[in-house]
Amino acid sequence: MGPVAEAVMSSSKKILKNSFVYSAGVFFDGICSAVLGLAVARWLGPSVQGIWQTARLFRAYSDMTTLGQALGMRREVAVAMGAGKEDEVAAQRDTAFTWNTGTMALAGTAIALYALLFPHPALLRQSLLAVAITVALAGASSFFNLWYKTIGRFGVLASSSVASGMISLLAVPLVYRYRFTGLITSYVLTSVVILAAMVAAYREPVRFRFSLAAWLRSSAVGFPLFLISASGLLFSSIDRILVIGLMGFSDMGFYSISTMCFMPIDTVLSSVSVVLLPRVCQKFGRDASFEGLSQYYLLPLSILMIGLPSAAGLIALVLRPVVLWLLPQYEAGILPAQIAMIGLSFSAAAGFCHNILLAARKTWWLVYATSAGSIAKLALVWALIRCGLGLAGVSAAAAMAYALQFVLVFWMTASLTRAPMRQRGAVMAEAFVSVVLCAVLCWYVRDLGWVLHPQMGLSFVLRLAASACLAAPMLIASFRLWRML
């Protein structure tokens, strides 16, 4: 093995270690949040669940008030570290902290005023006030989150995720005892604990210092990232916004089953691409080679685009008995959630392509891709709702939009890095063959109740064989990961 191969192998092991540590924390937080989410859904019902999900959209959109400056800071700091420019690192760090803290405090104040000054249902008003508090705290939290990702301190992020998960578990008896009041109390408490954990681990002085030159440099990079985030947020939430606007809070509660199944898995898997971004930026800062970035997306995509559809298919099979057992009042959300899982691999894997385009300063390409995906998703969701397909149509439209956006960003990335057509075709073929295979098998098997039906015969054997075949892509992906290690 030559020195280049050894360096790549060492880098891969470090990336995998950071990915494991960070993903483990995120996974634990996701599991605990899912437990809390199940408790909320079961004890509060679809209508209140829909109201709560609506209020949380305000939290998601509040991040837009920073105009992407902190996102640009992350890229500029990574490149400055690669070039050894310590003064630039400090200026970017302090400016981002000051800007993030101030803008998010203003956003939280605006949400609180909106809740108090305009007519709302009582539960929505209480939800908005709780969200306003968390938004006011989120400026500092989001800065520390991005800073630790930039400098590679993923252990701190994992610890804060574990702390967040523990609060979620402790919140379950609060929700049981105090219902909605317990929910919003635990929601605010989680934000406080996360911020406290990140501040406690911070090794640098916390300075309110604003450098216009640093802000302009990071904003020049960050504003396109802001547009990406804005269009990406619209892309990920437009289906929920249309459900609320056209179908109401109860249907939003049913549709939350799709979100509960989809988003935690997507978040955990996307955490690997988060770990990769600083390393990709630093590598490009050292040698400015587009071709040298190929290792950071082609191999991960080759593994994920085979394994994820298999995992999504297995989840779809167990979804019906699990929902009917835990949340029987949410039966209307089962089929939409099963359909939504088709888009899981396309959504989670796109982040690896995003890293390459961000490191190479091709942020406007991402703006075009995410904008096109958002427009397509808006049109598809609106059209299928109007056609009377309901929540199942919403999920189908979302899955198609995720596939379209993945194709766009993958082809842009492959063109930038001059990946051979054979490699491009192989990744695309693996992705769609695996997705179609798993979708067809799930449609035939439907759920575990069909597999475990007591009546024996040829149909039972075929369903059992089809269920076993769902695991085949996951085994292939595991074998490829083992060979990489």
The pLDDT of residue 410: 86
E strand or H helix that includes residue 239: helix 212-247
The pLDDT of residue 129: 93
The pLDDT of residue 8: 39
Spatial distance between the Cα atoms of 248 and 47, rounded to a whole number of angstroms: 9
Spatial distance between the Cα atoms of 176 and 222, rounded to a whole number of angstroms: 43
The pLDDT of residue 128: 93
At 306 the three-state DSSP class reads helix
The pLDDT of residue 431: 78
CA–CA distances in Å: residue 290 to residues 358, 360, 368, 476: 12, 7, 20, 29
SS3 content of the chain, % helix, strand, coil (to 5): 90, 0, 10
The pLDDT of residue 106: 93
Residues of the chain with pLDDT under 50: 1-10
- Is-contact 459 331, C-beta < 8 A? no
Q: Rounded to two decimals, what is the model's pTM?
A: 0.71
The pLDDT of residue 231: 77
- Distance spanning both ends of the chain, measured CA to CA: 14
- Is-contact 168 29, C-beta < 8 A? yes
